[in-house]
């Protein structure tokens, strides 16, 4: 995520907005006025002008820019009130308490760019990693408004899909190239995950191989976004195991039910534990994420008994054929 911190676009470092450590989900907004495409060099000034307009709005009595995050057409994510703060954008205290607010710098005409959608999805995922539940709604679902407009409403209804993890080929594929699978390679290294006993825990990945180099990013729970036929290999190193302690790994397929992701199936394996407190688990799964599911795959780990353990390395490699 290309995050622009408050101080980088000209706001005080900390938002004075009320604390809100968690919420049911995130609401998506747009500008609601005409907004023409412009160079990225003008985006920060646009965010500053939104903040100025909000601070000048005596009727609303805003303490700060109303949104938690704002996303420009170039995919940059501007920190508004940020994480752990109640928004002022959703139409009332109840709606602002139930959902955080993310605003697209997108107006009443034209289609949102792929970069804008990616930035919105990244801002939503970032909030979900910091207190937001899985529900993603339109501003118009919370209060009577057309916000965020037709195209973004459709995108929210479609499960706010990310563009594919792998960069698509620049030119249209020939029939022969069609048969070549895409590749996704993800790793978690410096991002360490503690696994509590008897709780399925999702592994997040914070490094992505983009085809030529490793790129560090925000921890991301999804390995692959459907629709696709796939084969996914998972390698996980666990430390802090007791002798004889069982570990289970599974590849879980989630489908979107219109509001949130629910687990559709799981494919668990389990392994005996090695001596010395370390376990290294490798497994490969193959399967299909149907188009109707708007699904995604996640890796999950369980230690049924004993003390909690730590995952200090995980790597997922997927080959997939878009279905
Ligand atoms: Zn709105
Ligand atoms: Zn921009």
**Sequence-ordered list of residues with C-beta below 8 angstroms from that of 5, at least 6 positions apart, any chain:** 79
The helix (H) or strand (E) run that includes residue 151 is: helix 149-157
Q: Kindly state whether residues 132 and 188 are assigned to the same domain.
A: no
What is the arithmetic mean of pLDDT over 38-63? Answer: 94
Whether 133 maps to a domain, the answer reads yes
Whether 164 maps to a domain, the answer reads no
96-100, 269-273, 309-313: lowest mean pLDDT where?
Answer: 269-273
CATH at residue 205: 2.60.120.1400
Return the pLDDT at 164.
53
Return the pLDDT at 223.
82
Return the pLDDT at 296.
84
Ligand 2 centroid–CA 111 distance in Å is: 15
Ligand 1 centroid–CA 46 distance in Å is: 16
Q: Kindly state whether residues 73 and 125 are assigned to the same domain.
A: yes
Q: Kindly state whether residues 96 and 193 are assigned to the same domain.
A: no
Local confidence band at 190 (pLDDT 50, 70, 90 cut-offs): low
How far is Cα 236 from Cα 281, in angstroms, rounded to an integer? Answer: 5
Ligand 1 centroid–CA 221 distance in Å is: 28
Ligand 2 centroid–CA 39 distance in Å is: 7
- Of 92, 126, 157, which closes a domain? 157
Return the pLDDT at 168.
44
Number of the ligand closest to the Cα of 43: 2
177-198 burial code (b ≥16 CB/10 A, e <16): eeeeebebbbbbeebebebeee
CATH at residue 99: 3.40.80.10
Whether 10 maps to a domain, the answer reads yes
Number of the ligand closest to the Cα of 103: 1
Q: Kindly state whether residues 246 and 283 are assigned to the same domain.
A: yes
Whether 12 maps to a domain, the answer reads yes
Question: Do the beta carbons of residue 264 and residue 250 sit within 8 Å?
Answer: no
Ligand 2 centroid–CA 44 distance in Å is: 7
How far is Cα 25 from Cα 308, in angstroms, rounded to an integer? Answer: 29
Angle at 231 between CA 227 and CA 235, to 5 degrees: 125
Q: Kindly state whether residues 118 and 234 are assigned to the same domain.
A: no
Local confidence band at 152 (pLDDT 50, 70, 90 cut-offs): very high
Number of the ligand closest to the Cα of 32: 1
Is pLDDT above 50 for 176? no
**Backbone φ and ψ of 292, nearest 5°:** -65, -25
Ligand 1 centroid–CA 255 distance in Å is: 27
Whether 165 maps to a domain, the answer reads no
Local confidence band at 112 (pLDDT 50, 70, 90 cut-offs): very high
Range of the domain at 8: 3-157
How far is Cα 156 from Cα 138, in angstroms, rounded to an integer? Answer: 7
Number of the ligand closest to the Cα of 71: 2
Identify the residue with better confidence: 92 or 256.
92
Is pLDDT above 80 for 106? yes
Number of the ligand closest to the Cα of 72: 2
Whether 166 maps to a domain, the answer reads no
53 forms beta bridges with none
The helix (H) or strand (E) run that includes residue 47 is: helix 43-55
Local confidence band at 4 (pLDDT 50, 70, 90 cut-offs): very high
- What is the count of structural domains for the chain? 2
Q: What is the pLDDT of residues 65-76, one digit of tens each?
A: 999 999 999 999
Q: What is the pLDDT of residues 229-268, one digit of tens each?
A: 888 888 888 888 887 778 888 888 888 777 777 776 666 6
Identify the residue with better confidence: 302 or 134.
134
Whether 44 maps to a domain, the answer reads yes
Q: Kindly state whether residues 148 and 276 are assigned to the same domain.
A: no
What is the arithmetic mean of pLDDT over 165-192? Answer: 56
What is the arithmetic mean of pLDDT over 139-164? Answer: 91
Return the pLDDT at 2.
92
SS3 annotation, the chain: CCEECHHHHCCCCCCCCCECCCEEEEEEECCCCCCCCCCHHHHHHHHHHHHHHHHCCCCCCCCCCCCCEEECCCCCEEECCCCCECCCCCCCHHHHHHEEEEEECCCCCCCCCHHHHHHHHHHHHHHHCCCEEEEEEEHHHHCCCCCCHHHHHHHHHCCCCCCCCCCCCCCCCCHHHHCCCEEEEEEECCCCEEECCCCCEECCEEEEECCCCEEEEEEECEEEECCEEEEEEEEEEEECCCCCCCEEEEEEEEEECCCCEEEEEEEEEEECCCHHHEEEEEEEEEEEECHHHCCEEEEEEECCCCCCEEEEEEEEEEEEEEC
Ligand 2 centroid–CA 142 distance in Å is: 28
Q: Kindly state whether residues 111 and 196 are assigned to the same domain.
A: no
Q: Kindly state whether residues 146 and 190 are assigned to the same domain.
A: no
Question: Do the beta carbons of residue 238 and residue 311 sit within 8 Å?
Answer: yes
Question: Do the beta carbons of residue 299 and residue 229 sit within 8 Å?
Answer: no
Local confidence band at 17 (pLDDT 50, 70, 90 cut-offs): very high
Is pLDDT above 90 for 145? yes
Ligand 1 centroid–CA 161 distance in Å is: 20
What is the arithmetic mean of pLDDT over 122-137? Answer: 95
Is pLDDT above 80 for 116? yes
Q: Kindly state whether residues 10 and 140 are assigned to the same domain.
A: yes
Ligand 1 centroid–CA 139 distance in Å is: 5
Whether 170 maps to a domain, the answer reads no
Q: Kindly state whether residues 230 and 139 are assigned to the same domain.
A: no
């Amino acid at each position: 995520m290309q995050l622009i911190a408050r101080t980088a676009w000209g706001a005080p470092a900390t938002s004075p907005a009320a604390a809100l450590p968690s919420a049911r989900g995130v609401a998506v907004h747009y500008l609601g006025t005409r907004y023409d495409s412009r160079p990225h060099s003008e985006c920060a000034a646009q965010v500053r002008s939104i903040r100025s307009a909000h601070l000048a709005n005596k009727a609303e009595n805003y303490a700060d820019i109303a949104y938690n995050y704002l996303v420009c057409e170039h995919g940059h994510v501007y920190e508004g009130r940020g994480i752990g703060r109640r928004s002022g954008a959703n139409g009332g205290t109840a709606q602002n308490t139930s959902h955080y607010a993310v605003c697209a710098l997108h107006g009443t005409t034209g289609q949102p760019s792929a970069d804008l959608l990616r930035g919105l999805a990244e801002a939503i995922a970032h909030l979900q990693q910091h207190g937001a539940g899985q529900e993603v709604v339109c501003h118009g679902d919370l209060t009577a408004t057309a916000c965020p407009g037709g195209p973004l409403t459709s995108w929210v209804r479609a499960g706010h899909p990310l563009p594919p993890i792998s960069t698509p080929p620049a030119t249209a594929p020939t029939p022969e190239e069609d048969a070549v699978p895409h590749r996704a390679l993800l790793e978690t290294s410096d991002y360490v995950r503690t696994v509590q006993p008897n709780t399925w825990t999702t592994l997040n990945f914070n490094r992505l191989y983009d085809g030529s180099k490793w790129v560090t990013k925000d921890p991301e729970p999804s390995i692959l976004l459907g629709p696709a036929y796939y084969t996914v290999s998972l390698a996980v190193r666990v430390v802090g195991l007791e002798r004889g302690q069982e570990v289970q790994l599974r590849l879980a397929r989630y489908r979107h039910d219109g509001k949130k992701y629910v687990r559709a199936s799981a494919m668990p394996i389990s392994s005996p534990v090695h001596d010395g407190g370390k376990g290294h688990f490798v497994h490969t799964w193959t399967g299909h994420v149907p188009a109707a599911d708007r699904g995604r795959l996640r890796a999950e780990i369980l230690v049924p008994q004993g003390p909690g353990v730590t995952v200090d390395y995980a790597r997922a490699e997927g080959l997939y054929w878009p279905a």
